[in-house]
Amino acid sequence: MRRRCAGQPVPAPQLASRSVTIPPPPTVAPAEGRLGVLTVGLGAVASTLIAGVELIKRGQAEPIGSLALMDTIRLGKRTEDRSPKIHEFVPVASLDDVVFGAWDPFPDDAYVAAQRAGVLESGRHLEGVAEALREVRPMAAAFDRSYVKKIDAENTVGTVDKRSMLNAIREDINRFREDKVVDRVVMIWCASTEIFLEPTRAHENLEAFEAAIDANDPNIAPSMLYAYAALLEGVPFANGAPNLT
């Protein structure tokens, strides 16, 4: 056997050749049909959002702050000068196809809620879209004062177990789909921030989470029920508050 001199490179081992399958690039479905936007909460955040969209639809405002409608994306090198607006590059729903719904523990419609919030001026902003705002009347909220202690609510599903709350939310989603004749739905948490909760065994996996719902575990907050209901109904969920959701 020949000895290898010090410093002599070690030949790489021969590896068996194998074929590598490259997955196809992901596709983005076209943004077709009516898009339902369900907000959990109809306070200052949600009512301002709805009023702003309705103003833009009517040409009474510009979509200032809208990443999709106002911002651009750079394609290729800077020298190629290819920077279309994001909504020109990816399929984004037209605002004319957007319809709103909401839950809130208070019965005020979006017009009254926007008036109370005081973010927008009544004469300048709200009166021109008053009819559209009044059509957004909140569904009864799955609400538990244990998690938001400074709100005394009246427009709620009542003191019921967590499974009943979950089922009520799912029924509302499907009723909204049918009543508004929408093709797609998304849900946004715009409600008050709930009390701080630590992750527990109830959140470790789906089986534990389901068991915790049936046991009325206090570690399952209403925001979690909304998020879970959305997932069960195939609805994307966005959390707009620092809840443990």
Q: Which of 207, 202, 244 shows the shortest CA–CA distance to 223? A: 244
Q: Which of 191, 105, 93 shows the shortest CA–CA distance to 140? A: 105
Q: Give the separation between CA 129 and CA 54, rounded to whole angstroms.
A: 6
Going across the sheet that includes 35-40, the strands are 98-103, 35-40, 184-189, 237-239
Banded pLDDT at 97 (limits 50, 70, 90): very high
**For residue 150, is pLDDT > 80?**
yes
Residue with tokens 């510009």: 62
35-63+92-239 placed in CATH 3.40.50.300: no
CA distances 181 to 5, 97, 139, 177, Å, are 79, 11, 17, 6
Return the DSSP state at 129: G
What are the structure tokens assigned to 101, written together?
């719904």
Identify whether the C-beta of residue 229 lies closer than 8 Å to the C-beta of residue 213: no
How high is the pLDDT of residue 113?
A: 96
Residue 189, beta-bridge partner list: 40, 239
Q: Which of 146, 149, 125, 138 shows the shortest CA–CA distance to 218? A: 146
How high is the pLDDT of residue 123?
A: 87
The 10s digit of each residue's pLDDT in 52-93 is 999 999 999 999 889 989 999 999 998 888 999 988 888 889
Which one is predicted more confidently, 141 or 15? 141
Domain extents in the chain: 35-63+92-239
The 10s digit of each residue's pLDDT in 17-40 is 556 677 777 676 778 899 999 999
How high is the pLDDT of residue 245?
A: 73
